[in-house]
């Protein structure tokens, strides 16, 4: 049996009860090397690979899952930029005789939204700015479509030391819509959401542009950005997107 387990952002308090039960019962845990520290407490056999070792990691988990109970760990939710889809694809391609069960986890968008206030209280779109697997032009088209539809926009994997272009081009598109609509989009920035060293800032797209180098030093691959829509505002020093109850009922 192969369980594909989401552990949330990594902090122990974000593990679901089901994740705790599964990780406590399996024979083997397979994960990215950087997640080992989050699952060592279960005192199980652990197999890890490094960055870009996803296929090796998933294939090992599938093979071992044919003869014993295995947990393949993803941070956040395994069906949101996680290992679940790859596991199903490889299971079909390699004709693996294994039962797969997904154990959902808390994704960074949800954790970050709660830290910031309630910016995801209406329709939103989630886009990863990593162009490792997706062409940059496709990513930017999705950013533009989300802004055109006035969705709140969640940005994963915004910036790394070697990958700056997707972030800068995304800022340019947001600035274009800022000028088109005459509003200064509110932006929430959460670093290490749910983990040690958690920090957040609530600012605007104009402030980010005016202090770009400072923000590019702060933002990294462990940061989630939430760009509000035209209705997002600051209430009690928090970022919220109204659902519309007051307009309809009061």
Spatial separation of the C-alpha atoms in residues 150 and 230, rounded to whole Å: 7
Helix H or strand E encompassing 72: strand 70-74
What pLDDT, in 10s, does the model give residues 220-239? 999 999 999 999 999 999 99
93 alpha-carbon distance from chain centroid: 27
Residue 193, pLDDT above cutoff 90: yes
Residue 1, pLDDT above cutoff 80: yes
Spatial separation of the C-alpha atoms in residues 70 and 4, rounded to whole Å: 8
114 alpha-carbon distance from chain centroid: 14
Residue 168, token pair as written in the block: 């800068």
Specify the 3-state DSSP secondary structure of 80: coil
Q: What angle do CA 25, 27, 32 make, to 5 degrees?
A: 100
Report whether 31 contacts 72 (CB < 8 A).
yes
Spatial separation of the C-alpha atoms in residues 119 and 189, rounded to whole Å: 12
What pLDDT, in 10s, does the model give residues 117-146? 999 999 999 999 999 999 999 999 999 999
Question: Which residue do the tokens 């005016």 mark?
Answer: 210
Spatial separation of the C-alpha atoms in residues 31 and 201, rounded to whole Å: 31
List the domains of the chain with CATH numbers. 2-106 (3.40.1010.10), 109-240 (3.30.950.10)
Report whether 167 contacts 159 (CB < 8 A).
yes
Where residue 250 falls among pLDDT bands split at 50, 70, 90? Answer: confident
DSSP state of 167: H
Residues in the chain: 250
What pLDDT, in 10s, does the model give residues 24-82? 999 999 999 999 999 999 999 999 999 889 999 999 999 999 999 999 999 999 999 99
């Amino acid at each position: 049996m192969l369980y594909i387990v989401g552990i949330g952002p990594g902090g122990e308090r974000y593990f679901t009860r089901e994740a705790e039960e599964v990780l406590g019962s399996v024979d083997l845990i397979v994960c990215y090397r950087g997640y080992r520290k989050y699952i060592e407490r279960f005192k199980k056999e652990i197999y890890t690979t490094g960055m870009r070792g996803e296929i090796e990691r998933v294939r090992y988990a599938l093979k071992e899952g044919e003869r014993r109970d295995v947990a393949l760990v993803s941070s956040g939710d395994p069906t949101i930029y996680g290992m679940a889809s790859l596991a199903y694809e490889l299971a079909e391609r390699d004709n693996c005789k294994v039962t797969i069960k997904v154990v959902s986890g808390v994704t960074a968008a949800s954790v970050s939204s709660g830290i910031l206030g309630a910016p995801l209280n209406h329709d939103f779109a989630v886009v990863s700015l990593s162009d490792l697997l997706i062409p940059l032009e496709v990513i930017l088209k999705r950013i533009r479509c989300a802004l055109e539809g006035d969705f709140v926009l969640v940005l994963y994997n915004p910036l790394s030391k070697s990958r700056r272009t997707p972030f800068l081009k995304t800022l340019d598109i947001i600035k274009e819509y800022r000028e088109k609509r005459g509003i200064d989009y509110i932006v929430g920035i959460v670093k290490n959401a749910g983990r040690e060293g958690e920090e957040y800032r609530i600012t605007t797209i104009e402030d980010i542009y005016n202090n770009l180098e400072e923000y590019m030093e702060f933002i990294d691959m462990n940061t989630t950005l939430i760009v509000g829509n035209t209705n997002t505002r600051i209430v009690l020093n928090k970022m919220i997107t109204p659902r519309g109850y007051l307009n309809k009922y009061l």
